[in-house]
Amino acid sequence: MALMTGKQYRDSLNDGREVYIDGEKVRNVSEHPSFKPIIDVKARMYDMALEAKYKDTLTTTLSNGEVVSRAYKAPETKEDLSAIRKHVETVLDDLGGVVYRVGDETIGEMWSLFDAQDKLNEIDPTYAKNIKYHIDRVAREDLFHVSANTDPKGDRSKLFSGKDGGTLLHVVEENDQGIVVKGAKFETAAAYAHQAFVKPTILDWNAGSEKMAPFACGFICDMGSPGLKSICRTSLGTERNPQDYPIATKFEEIDTLLIFDNVLIPWENVLFHRSLESAAYIRSTLHRYSAFNYTLRMLRRADYLIGAALLNVEQTGLTHLQAVKEKISELINYREGINAHLTAAVANAERSPGGLMMPNQSLLYTGRVFALANFPAMAHLTRELVGGQLAVTPDSTTMADPEIKQYFDQYYSVGEWTPEDRGKLLYFARDLLNSSYAGHRTTFELFAQSPPFAQQMAVFNNFDMEPQRELVRKAAGLKPSLPVTR
Ligand SMILES: Cc1cc2nc3c(=O)[nH]c(=O)nc-3n(C[C@H](O)[C@H](O)[C@H](O)COP(=O)(O)OP(=O)(O)OC[C@H]3O[C@@H](n4cnc5c(N)ncnc54)[C@H](O)[C@@H]3O)c2cc1C
């Protein structure tokens, strides 16, 4: 059976990987306090797939009889896309929170590359074979696969300054065993994943300059590879009280600066090499599938905002006010806007160039922009409805102090809401909206699927503009032969 247990996942991380955090070299990543909570979340996801009640939703059986995670089956029909949505929702329901980079979102980037098989075959048929092999392998071995795109960039004029001097990740050697790469990438979850799909960052890969060739590579990197170092940022949940920071202490996903210090990538893991065309292709299609799983998480975050706002105005008796109802309605409008894009993207799904079923690209990319652009407004409305207590309420240990507890009983009791319950709601809302973790999440959401300008480019490039041109041509009586420039 292909499916991994939570324990097997934890044990698999003891593979000699080099992980650093807070000035310490980590000996056992799955037991380290900064990583344990999120590793427990991922382990729970593995165990869920083995529970009878989740079998139909979280797994699927391949034609050869192998049972694999539902998340790793490339979509071939609209039903497959609906099943992916159901998978994400079921996992998030069980976990009771929102995690992004836990495998199902990032595998979609490999499906985008699968769609480029014909082009890759023209360059070198081995690459298309390797891509197919790795897509199957992730499913067969139930691997936790993440995505490394962004190099720390620095001075853009020096990015391609020679074979060994370039600042972007590049190939420094080719030998019988494979390619040797040097460079760095930012990568959420690298320290506790099995492998990453490493690929070029956002740049003008169509520029076609020969000096860019060593940088135009894509490959699968095992996270235990010699020479690879995961240098992690401080966790925002460690040493926090779970009662006061109920989200950060459970769902903190750790970001990593991944250093490739002359790492050997075996030929069977090379997906493309010295191919500017492939670099340009993957950059323009990277989120063709994964934006769906990503935007589903934004929808769930919107639901948490609505829930926090509603419970708060209900306990303080404000719901009947017209102005409060209007603000709740605004939240609902945003939420349903995201939902509408996702639903329509499946209903109007399109056949991909590689024969898979991809969510309707225009609706998916506009949905992602809609969700991200409106999230700050949603958060602000929620903050407004929750009120100032969100920011000023003392923590749970202080509330429980017998010497002063009476004051909380007096000033924090509302009807059937005890001070403890009100505290719980306010701490939850704080971690959703105001804590360091909440701020980090907002930045993650803004950038983790490429920066806003690239998301707008995806909208521009995936909208069929001809019908609008044609409408105006006809209405204004213009010649059909007028040139279209981009
Ligand atoms: C919390 C977090 C987690 C992340 N996780 C991952 C991960 O798992 N994997 C991964 O690969 N990356 C990850 N990233 C990196 C992320 O993809 C990048 O931050 C993002 O792509 C922007 O790149 P940059 O930071 O180098 O910014 P830059 O490229 O320097 O861009 C900064 C800003 O400059 C402007 N700008 C730059 N270039 C242009 C242009 N051509 N046109 C118009 N405006 C421009 C834009 O305003 C842009 O937002 C993560 C980032 C964060 C913050």
Same domain flag for 219 and 322 = no
Nearest CA to ligand 1 atom 1: 444
Q: Which atom of ligand 1 is nearest to the CA of 443?
A: 53
pLDDT tens, residue by residue, 296-323: 999 999 999 999 999 999 998 999 999 9
Same domain flag for 273 and 403 = no
Tokens of 60: 């699927």
Same domain flag for 451 and 420 = yes
Same domain flag for 71 and 174 = yes
Return d(Cα 216, Cα 139) in angstroms, integer. Answer: 27
* Residue 479 belongs to a domain: no
Same domain flag for 110 and 197 = yes
Which of 188, 282, 372 has most ligand 1 atoms within 8 Å of its beta carbon, as the pocket-test mutant? 188
Same domain flag for 237 and 317 = no
Q: Dihedral sign for Cα 274, 278, 284, 290, please.
A: negative
**Structural domain that includes position 211:** 6-89+100-285
* Residue 322 belongs to a domain: yes
Tokens of 35: 């990583």
pTM: 0.96
* Residue 486 belongs to a domain: no
Give residue 166's pLDDT. Answer: 80
Same domain flag for 281 and 298 = no
* Residue 354 belongs to a domain: yes
* Residue 141 belongs to a domain: yes
Q: In this structure, what CATH number is given to the domain that contains residue 378?
A: 1.20.140.10
pLDDT tens, residue by residue, 64-100: 899 999 999 999 999 999 999 999 999 999 999 999 9
List the beta bridge partners of residue 187.
Answer: 256
Structural domain count of the chain: 2
Mean pLDDT per 10-residue segment, the chain (486 residues): 92 96 96 97 98 97 92 96 98 98 94 87 84 94 94 84 77 96 96 96 85 93 97 96 98 97 97 90 91 98 98 93 97 98 98 97 98 97 96 96 96 94 97 97 94 95 96 95 82
Mean pLDDT, the chain, integer: 94
Protein residues whose CB sits closer than 6 Å to any atom of ligand 1: 101, 147-150, 153, 185-188, 255, 443-444, 447-448, 450-451, 453
Same domain flag for 406 and 320 = yes
From 255, 285, 315, the end of a domain falls on 285
Q: In this structure, what CATH number is given to the domain that contains residue 10?
A: 2.40.110.10
Return d(Cα 434, Cα 253) in angstroms, integer. Answer: 17
CA dihedral 280, 282, 285, 290 (to 10 degrees): -150
